[in-house]
Structure 1
Amino acid sequence: MTVELTGSAAAAATGGDTDRAARRLAYVTVCVPAAGFVAAVAYAWRYGFTVVDGLLLAVMYLVTAFGVEGGMHRFFSHRAFSAGRVVTALWGVAGSMAAQGPIVFWVATHRIHHAFTDTDRDPHSPRPIGTGPLARVRGLWHGHVGWLFTVRRDNWSKHVPDLLADRTVMRVNELYFVWVLLGLALPAALGGLLTWSVGGAVSGLLWGGLARIFLLDQVTWGVNSIGHTLGSRPYKTRDNSRNVAAMAPFSVGGSWHNNHHARPSLAHNRHAFWQIDLTGMFITLLDRLGLIHDVRYPKSSGAHRRAAGRSNREHRRRQP
């Protein structure tokens, strides 16, 4: 079947005009963490993989995974809950340390994805590109990572007016590269301090920094590619979004993608008791601690309705 392509999908197939700065940044974003992951494996092969390495990888992964799924995605992109300036900044810093792009870029791209899901205007749809036996492979590659090399910055502002008007968000956005470096410096410093050695700092940088970025990238991008190709579809949405259960723990709940596309404004992706949504659980915890408010819970859940009521009452009491 012949697929006519326009926009970023056409650029992926034809090498069309793209933003040069964004393309250069894409090479750094993709290649440096990949090289770091290879270096981490080689370093561990030579010097071993320690408990400290595992802890730094796990902790930094969780912090940045929550930053991406809870911050960049559910908070900034979909406004599934509200937060004050300090908590807003912390969400932004945690998400930025994942090195998947500044807040404005991440949110604008994601909102365009929702507006034009699985059409030729979707920035990262894995639809087949071209014809022949490799068309689906090319589409899957484009949906996973190839789109980063073809993405354009046309009319981003019209998709993120709320962010552009938020001084806290824009300040965090402007310091994006500082937060990326912080995400590398923290595990390096902790690795050195916990082992009291230069080798521990190097291993911390590799595993808690670069390898962690690489692994989280594959999971986040996998939701874009695999989550629109393979998996279950309990909701008959207008797109090809799918739930990928095997990825749920690693995506901290983001891979319940069909659930999300069916009800994108909710703070929870868990629509069945057995579905793991660590981000939803974390958001509920923050709500109960009074650190966030106006959380959009699924109306079908009595427990969530009660929690939402508590959140709204507490927020009203905090108002002057």
Structure 2
Amino acid sequence: MFVYLWGYLYSNFFRFWLKWILRQLTGKCELQRICGGSKEGSQRTLKIEYSLGLSKSKVLRHAIHVGEAEVEKCVIGIMKEKKINIQKDTGFKTSLQVCLLQISGYKKLYLEVENLRKVPYDSDNEEHEKQLIQLWNLLIPHENLKARITKQWCDIGFQGDDPKTDFRGMGMLGLVNLVYFSKHYTSEARQILSRSNHPKLGYSYAIVGINLTEMAYSLLKSGALKSHLYNLVPGLPQMEHFHQFYCYLVYEFDKFWFEEEPESIMHFNHYREKFHEKVKGLLLDYNQVLTLENIKKP
């Protein structure tokens, strides 16, 4: 109750007067102070997003909802609304524009990921089938599939004879993620597949991979990936950046699983949630960037 009351009073009373006092002292509005005093990346963009969202000005509140094409026009509108002199604050326009591009880009990326997730795997779709076969060839190139529907799929961690049934939850997003990791980090993917066949600590490689797709998707949807993406991309994040984060999860989960040494796969949900909480904790760091490329750097 106290926390709620303090939040209400701060947002509706104290914050207004604090901003007014600081403007009198510095001669700059809150947006200028953030752009000039915060490190570029998530520190700056998250503060800008928060400030715009709480503004009493419709022009400023609207800024966090504009698309990429509207960003420049929106920045000009904000500068006019706040009476900001571009000659006196030469870096403000560029800094704010980058922040708005990151904000709009994050929302656009979520929609792209969501749309791909909603595409069901279709065994009659030639492109879908091609990607599925590609996954097999990347992981076990020395062994040919005897048939499209075969128990061999269990060798790379699917549950049954036909992998299409395992993609129901994440749709084509799950397959695209698996193929991306296997294509761009082939040696790592094969190594993890081999480790997943451990007699005591083994797990279903493909099923866990799809499960990690759901984790990456939920973190994106909740906004938890903002700090990571705002630090990683000085502009519009792309699907490529989502795939890169997925690769990080696959690589790190495998390490985590073997470090924890669970008694059996029956405890998977417990350790999956423990890993999820670990990643969410890392993402609270304003300076965090979670990619496999960063791990592999010497």
- TM-score over 0.5 for the alignment? no
CA radius of gyration, larger in: 2
The normalised TM-score by structure 2 is 0.22
The normalised TM-score by structure 1 is 0.21
Larger RCO: Structure 1 or Structure 2 (Cα < 8 Å, ≥ 6 residues apart)? Answer: 1
Bigger helix fraction: 2
